[in-house]
Amino acid sequence: MNLDLKQYSTMHIGGLAYRILNIRSEADIISAINYADTCQKPLIVIGEGSNSIFSDEDDKFVIAHMQMKGISVKEDTAEYQIIRIAAGESWDHCVAYTVAKGLSGIESLSGIPGTAGAAPIQNIGAYGTEFSDVLVTVSAYDRIHKRFRTLKASECNLGYRDSIFKQNPNTYIITELTIRLSKSIPPIPEYASIKDQFEGQIINSALIRDVVLRTRAEKLPDYKTVPNCGSFFKNPLVTSDQFESIQKSHPNIPSFTTQSGIIKLYAGWLIEHASYKLCETENILFYEKNKLVLTNIGNASYDELLLVLSNIQKSVHELFGIQLEVEPNIFK
């Protein structure tokens, strides 16, 4: 079996895994845990590796490659359907499946790479929709209490690119999700980058999916040809006092006020104004259309990437006094 972790991360960085185990059933999960415990190696569950960076030291990890499959309708009413999705399904395949049924709720999350099982980990989001908007339950193996259990959405602490699963890494192995999707016409996403494309059109989830896929193809690199892991930093959230103080020295700084009154800054704008070019290396460049996306254009090492990330954080901190938080999951 190919143990090269470069092939299991869309950033194409990583050493050789100690072992890679395919997970196709609940029984495979128990076997993988027992195997990793016997070898005294950390067990890391992955989907498509589109938000994961691995150390390039060899033999560090046992990898559980999630491949549990299946999508079905669990409940069907006049207003909504509850869809059951196994963790190893491709997320975008699930979006396509539900949009083809005329359902709405996740069409704005079209084109996000990765598996369904990873969607709750960072509460995936795009164009104003978050996975938390539709989640009903997450089923998972709880490695602390050594049992399979089902968590209600309210127990998952889903926040901006955050969840109970992200807060407690290596604790839960997600096996299945249920999501609730509407049979009503969806609202137009209120994002300037796509809003205009809906003018004069009949709105439905298929149209929103088409517009989102087209826009993403224009603005983001295809990880199959240009290795990347999407956005490398979260948008920082600041209080109004912090914002006013930054605004004194940077009056043009763009911001978005969230429903709870917290102010979201645009990390891409902060990077663009903070000597970002000096942070690039021979192998790691910013994607020219998006300063949140770093691309591995050569054969970048793990240390090289970490250096780039820390230099970006330093230059943004020096200019704005803001500590950017790295978004992808880093396995040292």
Edge-first strand order for the sheet with 71-76 is: 71-76, 80-86, 172-182, 135-142, 147-152
> Interface with ligand FAD by CB under 6 A: which residues?
10, 44-52, 66, 87, 112-115, 117-119, 121-122, 124-126, 172-174, 220, 223, 228-230, 329
Per CB under 6 A, 235 contacts ligand NAP:
yes
25 is catalytic: no
- Spot the catalytic one: 110, 163, 231, 315: 231
Closest CA to 291 of 241, 232, 249, 242: 232
Q: Which among ligand FAD, ligand NAP, none contacts residue 329 (Cβ within 5 to 8 A by kind)?
A: ligand FAD
Per CB under 6 A, 223 contacts ligand NAP:
no
Footprint (CB under 6 A) of ligand NAP, residues 27-46: none
Per-position DSSP letters for 136-179, written without gaps between them: EEEEEEETTTTEEEEEEGGGS--BTTB-HHHHSTTSEEEEEEEE
Per CB under 6 A, 290 contacts ligand NAP:
yes
161 is catalytic: yes
Tokens 């890391």 -> residue: 44
Q: Which among ligand FAD, ligand NAP, none contacts residue 61 (Cβ within 5 to 8 A by kind)?
A: none
139 is catalytic: no
Which residue has the closest beta carbon to ligand NAP?
230
Question: Quick check: helix, strand or coil at residue 319?
Answer: helix
Footprint (CB under 6 A) of ligand NAP, residues 114-173: 125-128
Give the angle 7-9-15 at the CA atoms, nearest 5°: 65
Question: Quick check: helix, strand or coil at residue 25?
Answer: coil
Distance CA 239, CA 42 (A): 38
Q: Which is nearer to ligand FAD, 36 or 174 (CB)?
A: 174
- Helices in the chain by DSSP H: which ranges? 26-39, 91-100, 164-167, 192-195, 205-219, 240-249, 267-272, 302-320
224's tokens: 């199959």
Q: Which is nearer to ligand NAP, 105 or 125 (CB)?
A: 125
Q: Which residue from 219, 222, 249, 318 is in contact with ligand NAP, where contact means CB under 6 A?
A: 219
Per-position DSSP letters for 303-315, written without gaps between them: HHHHHHHHHHHHH
Q: Which residue from 193, 240, 249, 299 is in contact with ligand NAP, where contact means CB under 6 A?
A: 193
Give the active site residues: 161, 231, 327
Positions touching ligand NAP (CB under 6 A) are: 125-128, 190-193, 219-220, 230-231, 235, 256, 266, 290, 327
